[in-house]
Amino acid sequence: MMLPGFPDAMPLQGLAGGLMIGLSAAIMLLALGRIAGVSGLAARATGISAGGAPRSIAIAFIIGLPLGALLLSTMLGGVATTFPTSPWPLLIGGLLVGFGTRLGSGCTSGHGVCGMSRLSPRSIFATAMFMASGFATVALLRVGGWL
């Protein structure tokens, strides 16, 4: 299936991934009564946070993210990726994302998937801000000729 203007888009794979993310969030909420926010689970798994899901669950969830990607990559033949030649954009981007996650009391998975599905006003606002920031960043990068 080809989307107009997006010759390399893979909508069926995106749909399947979205369904799996939603299913895992629903299972975690229904089984444990906890939100499947990756930043909170990462903080719990590393010992930065004492609250939230049991630490063993948090560790299993965080380890399962790259293991699931590795499994699918092995089964489907890999995914082509490119990274900047310098590590600085990745380092700066990672620090900004971490700061924003703490400032916003959660990440896109916690607010965008779990909070929005529960109609949380705070999550709806946070997700709108994530999206607006992303749109503005892309627009600025395009105007500046960096994208």
Position 22, amino acid: G
71-108, pLDDT tens digit by residue? Answer: 888 887 777 778 788 899 889 988 988 888 888 888 88
Chain centroid to Cα 22, Å, comes to 12
Cβ-based neighbour number of residue 59 at 10 Å:
16
> How far apart are the C-alpha atoms of 68 and 132, rounded to whole Å?
30
For 4-73, the DSSP string reads TTBTT--HHHHHHHHHHHHHHHHHHHHHHS----HHHHHHHHHTS-SSSS-HHHHHHHHHHHHHHHHHHH
Higher-pLDDT residue of 39 and 125 is: 125
Q: What is the CA radius of gyration of the chain?
A: 17
| pLDDT greater than 60 at residue 60 | yes
This prediction has a pTM of 0.71
> How far apart are the C-alpha atoms of 35 and 44, rounded to whole Å?
12
